[in-house]
Structures are given as structure tokens and as C-alpha cells.
Amino acid sequence: MKGKVALITGSATGLGKMTALTLARQGCDIALNFVNSKEQAHALKKEIEGMGVRAIAVKADIAVEEELYSLVDQTEEQLGQVDILVNNAGPFIRERRLFSQYDRNEIVHLINGNLTGVMLLDHRVLPSMREQKWGRIIHFGFGHAGEARSWPHRSVYAAAKVGLVSFTKTLAVEEAPYGITVNMVCPGDIRGANKEKTIDEVFGITDELTPRGRSGSGEDIARVIEYLCMEKSDFITGNIMDISGGLDPIRPRIIPE
């Protein structure tokens, strides 16, 4: 992948950071994106440049249309056209709430950050990908998103991601003739520091909730994305891939207040 330009949203920390490091090792120039993690983003930029590739760090909120367009503009100006787009960023409210307990601004922000902003980013980079007849687009979902089941206390986030499932499959079909693949990765319940750990680092950590028996790691996700972005992975498109160790994160039972 030497010389390819990869734009990874929400990439200063966590799964986005591990993806950025993985693609940089493959020779990609990296456009990092952050909202609040400026210090971490610039430290990662230096680390990636130390690998012999180019890197930039751009502040932009994917839920804000003007900022996401500026993110692509700056990437093209400083690195060149986007070959690989990894839509990792997506607002999430960890506190468990019923839909009636969300306010209007929270609903709009969750939908814009997890669905509308992703679609607009894809739309922005498609012309150049079509022109060169090559591109890789990765969306992020959640475990079992492809089944469109109910997910109480996560109604807005789940609705946005399930909508993105359909969009992933449709866009994959529409863009396949142009050499562009579109896939979704659905991480399991990978929390905290484990998002930036390797498989070897978590291998001895027992997780009784995961059928595999160990905790997930950032490498588990990044290595799948790496494979999907390779030159000869062009026959894999429109797929929704659960990377969860067999874990089902959805708890459908509601306990009345």
C-alpha cells in the first residue's frame, strides 16, 4: 500500500489509532483526525512520520458538515487524493437511556455523527476514487448490527448504525464497477486501554463474557481493516463483519423503573 493516502476519522486514540499505525506500517500516508485529543493526535503524527511516511493531524467534528468537508480538503492539499477512507469516528453516549430520555440535540448529533456525516464523507471522496478506479471505504458498526435487532437504551446510536448497514451494502454494489470496495467492521465490546493493545498483550486477560474467553484488542480490528484495504482484497465488498469473539452485546431485556 506504499504511497496510498488513508484518511481515518477519530484516529488520535483507540481503534482509530491502531488502524492508523497498522496502515502506516504498510506504507500509507496518514491523515489523522481528532476533536478534543490534540496532544495525542500530534504525538501520533510524529510517531507515524518516524516510520518514513507522511502524516497530518486535522481537527474536525464529523457531525458538522463544514468541518468534515474541510478535513478532506486539507488532506487533499497536503497529502493528495484519498485512496482509503476509514470512518471510525462516531459519537456514543455510554450512559444507558430510554429514547424518551434523550434531548433533541443529542438525537441530531448521534445521527449526524454516525450516519449523515459518514455518507457525506463517502460522497466527497468518491469522485477521485472513481477517476482512478480504486478505493477502499470502511464503515464501523456494532456487533450484530446487520441483524437490525432492537437494542434498548441505545436506540439512536443503533438506528444510525443499522441505517449505515444498508448504505454499506448499497454503496458497495454501486461502486464495484469502479474498483471501489465498501465494507463494515463491527467490533465487540473492546473497552479502555484494550483498544490500543495488541493481541499478544490481551491474550492472557480472561473475559468470561466473550465466548472466545479473552478480551478483544485494537489489533483484532486493525488487522481486518488492513486486509480489506489490500490490493487483492477487491472481491470482498458489501460485507458486515463481526469481530467480537462471539460476543452478543445486545441485552434486550428492559427492567421497569
Task: Give the helix/strand (H/E) hosting 25.
Answer: helix 14-25
Query: So what's the pLDDT on residue 254?
Result: 47
- The percent of residues above 70 in pLDDT, for the chain, comes to 96
Cell of 248: 452478543
Query: So what's the pLDDT on residue 256?
Result: 52
Spatial contact of 105 and 59, defined as CB atoms under 8 Å apart: no
- The candidate with the shortest Cα–Cα distance to 186, out of 207, 208, 168, is 168
Mean pLDDT for 5-29 is 97
Cell of 52: 518514513
Q: Which CATH architecture has domain 5-243?
A: 3-Layer(aba) Sandwich (3.40)
Strands 135-140, 29-34: pairing is unpaired
| Residue 149 to residue 84: CA distance in whole angstroms | 30
Cell of 135: 478505493
Chain segment 135-159, per-residue pLDDT in tens: 999 999 998 888 888 889 999 999 9
Which residues are 87's β-sheet partners? 139
Spatial contact of 148 and 177, defined as CB atoms under 8 Å apart: no
Which residues are 32's β-sheet partners? 8, 57
Chain segment 165-211, per-residue pLDDT in tens: 999 999 999 999 999 999 999 998 888 899 989 988 988 888 777 78
| Residue 133 to residue 152: CA distance in whole angstroms | 41
Spatial contact of 224 and 167, defined as CB atoms under 8 Å apart: no
Q: What is the pTM of this model?
A: 0.93
**Residue, of 99 and 189, whose pLDDT is higher:** 99
Going by the DSSP 8-state scheme, the letter that residue 195 receives in this structure is G
Q: Does the pLDDT at position 15 exceed 80?
A: yes
- The candidate with the shortest Cα–Cα distance to 15, out of 136, 141, 176, 153, is 141
Query: So what's the pLDDT on residue 245?
Result: 84
Residue 213 pLDDT class (50, 70, 90 cuts)? confident
Chain segment 83-98, per-residue pLDDT in tens: 999 999 999 998 999 9
Q: Does the pLDDT at position 16 exceed 90?
A: yes
Q: Does the pLDDT at position 19 exceed 60?
A: yes
Compute the mean pLDDT over every residue in the chain, rounded to the nearest whole number.
93
